[in-house]
């Protein structure tokens, strides 16, 4: 069997499980709320554990239902949050461009995710979001963040949940990547199944 991919029902509706992870207060919840509800709140309410939002989009005429898992960045939720990685089709790694530590912790978040997701797959659909670019006290330059992502072959987006900059583009790039990966798995599964059926070609006669 291929890895558990997005489920596809008879009406060809695809469900994708997307998860957003990253350090405390980088704006994970704000990014999701901007993307799903087009709202932004200045006040900070930390996410306790995890919560789920859904959004339906269309990619190449395929309706895609994205189930997006928001996770809390607090250290005390780390092991609980990692139990939600299972079954993900795509992962968003978020950091805050005004918080160098949140960028430096990306390696850890990525390693932790790749270690726990099944199978361990370094081509796993992923995007990195550098959030809060509307603020002027930057600690992480675009060049440094892009270089880190380029080395790991992960698309990088500079975003602002507050001003709704690049948010939808980032989510949709990830959704397309997840869908392409899924289609690849689905097709190789079909090819494998065909290989398993009895060979109906006439046998070469042997004399």
Regarding 132 and contact with ligand GTP (CB under 6 A), the answer is yes
Three-state SS across 127-140? EEEEECCCCCCCCC
175, 64 Cβ separation under 8 angstroms: yes
Which tokens belong to 27? 């704006």
Nearest approach in angstroms of CB 77 to ligand GTP is 8
Q: How far apart are CA 29 and CA 45, in angstroms?
A: 9
Give me the least distance between CB of 30 and ligand GTP, in Å please: 3
Q: Which is nearer to Mg ion, 88 or 131 (CB)?
A: 131
* Distant-in-sequence, close-in-space partners of 57: CB < 8 Å, separation ≥ 6: 63, 64, 66, 172, 175
Q: Site mask, ligand GTP, residues 59-98, x = CB under 6 A?
A: -------------xx-------------------------
Place of tokens 């659909």: 125
- What is the Cα 134 distance to its own chain's centre? 23
CB of 22 to ligand GTP, least distance (A): 6
Count other Cβ atoms within 10 Å, centred on residue 63. 12
- Site membership for ligand GTP, residue 105 (CB under 6 A): no
In the list 18, 29, 64, 181, the residue contacting Mg ion (rule: CB under 5 A) is 29
Choose among ligand GTP, Mg ion, none what residue 26 binds, the Cβ cut-off being 5 to 8 Å by kind. ligand GTP
State yes or no: residue 181 binds ligand GTP (CB under 6 A).
Answer: no
46 sits near ligand GTP (criterion: CB under 6 A):
yes
- For Mg ion, give the closer residue by CB, 5 or 132: 132
Q: Beta strand pairing status for 156-158 and 90-96?
A: unpaired
Pair of tokens at residue 202 = 């006439």
Q: What spatial distance separates the first Cα and last Cα of the chain, rounded to whole Å?
A: 39
Q: Which of 93, 149, 161, 174 binds ligand GTP (CB under 6 A)?
A: 161
* CA dihedral sign, ordered 141, 145, 148, 153: negative
Give residues 47-86 in contact with Mg ion (rule: CB under 5 A).
Answer: 47
Binding site for Mg ion (CB under 5 A): 28-29, 47
- Give the interface with ligand GTP as residue ranges (CB under 6 A): 24-30, 41-44, 46-47, 72-73, 131-132, 134-135, 160-162
């Amino acid at each position: 069997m291929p890895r558990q991919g997005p489920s596809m029902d008879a009406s060809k509706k695809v469900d994708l499980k997307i998860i957003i992870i990253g350090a405390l207060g980088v704006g994970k919840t704000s990014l999701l709320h901007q993307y799903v509800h087009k709202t932004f709140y200045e006040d900070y309410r930390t996410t306790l554990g995890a919560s789920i939002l859904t959004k339906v989009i269309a990619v190449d005429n395929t309706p895609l239902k994205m189930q997006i898992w928001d996770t809390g960045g607090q250290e005390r939720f780390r092991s609980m949050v990692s139990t939600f990685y299972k079954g993900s089709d795509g992962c968003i790694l978020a950091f805050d461009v005004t918080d160098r530590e949140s960028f430096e912790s990306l390696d850890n978040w990525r390693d932790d995710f790749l270690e726990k997701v099944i199978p361990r797959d370094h081509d796993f659909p992923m995007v990195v979001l550098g959030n809060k670019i509307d603020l002027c006290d930057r600690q992480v330059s675009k060049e440094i963040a892009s270089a880190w992502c380029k080395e790991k072959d992960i698309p990088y987006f500079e975003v602002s949940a507050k001003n709704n900059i690049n948010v939808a583009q980032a989510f949709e790039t990830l959704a397309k990547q997840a869908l392409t990966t899924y289609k690849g798995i689905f097709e190789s599964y079909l090819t494998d199944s065909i290989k398993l059926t009895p060979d109906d070609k006439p046998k070469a006669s042997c004399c």
